[in-house]
Amino acid sequence: MSNFESPLQSPTNDGRALNWVLDHVTTHEETYGDIYPARLPLRTIFTLNCQTGASSPNTFRGELMKLLSDLPAQPCTLPPIFLTSFIKKCFPADFTSVDFDQALTALDYLRDLDMRRKNEVEKATKAKGQHDTKIKQMQNRLQKLDLLYAKALVGIRRFTLIHELSAPKFSRVQCSALLNTLYPLEEEDINLHLTAPQLSKQRQALWGYIIGVQQNGPGILDGVKGYNGGWKQISEVIYAYCKLSLELIQKAEDLTRPISYGSFQSDVSIEEPQSPRISTKRRDSDSRSSEGEFEGNGGRRSTLDKLVRGLQLAQRFRKKSTNKLGNSEWNSSKGKLYQSEFNSSQKGLAAQEWQQREEVSMFA
């Protein structure tokens, strides 16, 4: 017998969560590659880390499948303006007003914002090319933003754990679970300023905080809270990072977005000659409109314009000639009819007068 339960006997809705996970991975396979690595929400990871102390492998697998089944079926991306607003609202300058209950969610949003700015710059680079002046300026800003992101991430992680260590009721299990959530074992490089060895050293330092508070109480954290400018300095870095990231994303989107000819954002001048157009307007013979409305390219007609103009003139000439021919035939026929009627009546009247004259002469 296997030590693991079968999917149909697992406490995850009769194993349906396993089918959901398999379907999700196969459907969105591109999100589980090296470029866009998939990652569970930090709050979900923290919940799992809190339950691993006294749970069996079967129970852990069941809880994991349950949490995965509760996640959205379709991956979604929140707007950058929402991400920055949530992060700044969660981490104000006043330390007493910081919402550390939403710190894990804010860290997820901070990571999403970092991935979003990198992806937008990559799209803009493909659209404009690496040698474009604006792209080079954006690449220089990326280096500054990487440094700000490293400072903001380290500061949020440290003060989130300090807040948990400062709780009235100390719990080593909760603090250890939070440390494993913020600094997972064997974490890979985040950027050039946060390499794997540096992250490992930071994890060891925070683990020393947990041991120190357990032995000596939370009073030892007073000196740590004011280190290197304290929380106020971290909050300023967070605000600066959010502002610059949002500006960079908007500029990258403007470069990537296709712009119509002659628009306000187009580099093409509106005064440049436009492409030739074919006019469908009709002009009478007595029209005084200029030839320019049927022409393009500075008054020169294209071959298609000449053909259309010639067909229009031929059609009008054919109509006029048909009308003239019809009028002439009708007038001639009408004249002949009147002439024939007049001649016959005139001949009859003359015959009557001649006969009367003969009768008068006979009786005279």
DSSP code per residue over 110-142: HHHHHHHHHHHHHHHHHHH-TT-HHHHHHHHHH
Place of tokens 């003359």: 350
254 within 8 A of 262, measured Cβ to Cβ: no
Per-residue model confidence (pLDDT) at position 86:
96
Residue 61's CB is within 10 A of a number of other CB atoms, namely 19
Per-residue model confidence (pLDDT) at position 161:
95
Blockwise average pLDDT, block size 10, the chain, 364 residues: 38 55 59 54 86 62 64 68 95 94 95 93 89 88 93 96 92 93 91 94 94 91 81 95 95 79 42 48 46 46 72 74 57 52 53 56 48
At 29, the amino acid letter reads E
Contacts of 16 (CB under 8 A, 6+ apart): 69
Residue 60's CB is within 10 A of a number of other CB atoms, namely 13
Residue 190 exposure: Cα atoms within 13 Å on the Cβ side? 23
* C-alpha R_g of the chain: 45
194 within 8 A of 153, measured Cβ to Cβ: yes
301 within 8 A of 294, measured Cβ to Cβ: yes
Q: List Cα–Cα distances, 333 to 72, 322, 327, 336, 337, in angstroms.
A: 89, 17, 10, 5, 6
Could you tell me which residues are beta bridge partners of residue 194?
Answer: 191
Per-residue model confidence (pLDDT) at position 290:
43
95 within 8 A of 89, measured Cβ to Cβ: no
Per-residue model confidence (pLDDT) at position 223:
82
Cα separation, 234 vs 139, whole angstroms: 24
Alpha helices in 129-258 (DSSP H): 133-165, 172-182, 196-216, 222-225, 230-256
The SS3 call for residue 153 is helix
Cα separation, 139 vs 146, whole angstroms: 11
**Domain residue spans in the chain?**
1-76, 77-256, 320-364
Cα separation, 160 vs 163, whole angstroms: 5
Here the tokens at position 229 are: 């400018």
Place of tokens 């990559």: 122
The gap from C-alpha 256 to its chain's centroid, in whole angstroms, comes to: 10
Residue 96's CB is within 10 A of a number of other CB atoms, namely 6
Tell me what percent of the residues of the chain surpass a pLDDT of 70: 57
Residue range 222-233, pLDDT digits in tens:
888 877 778 999
Helices (H) and strands (E) in the chain, counts: 11, 0
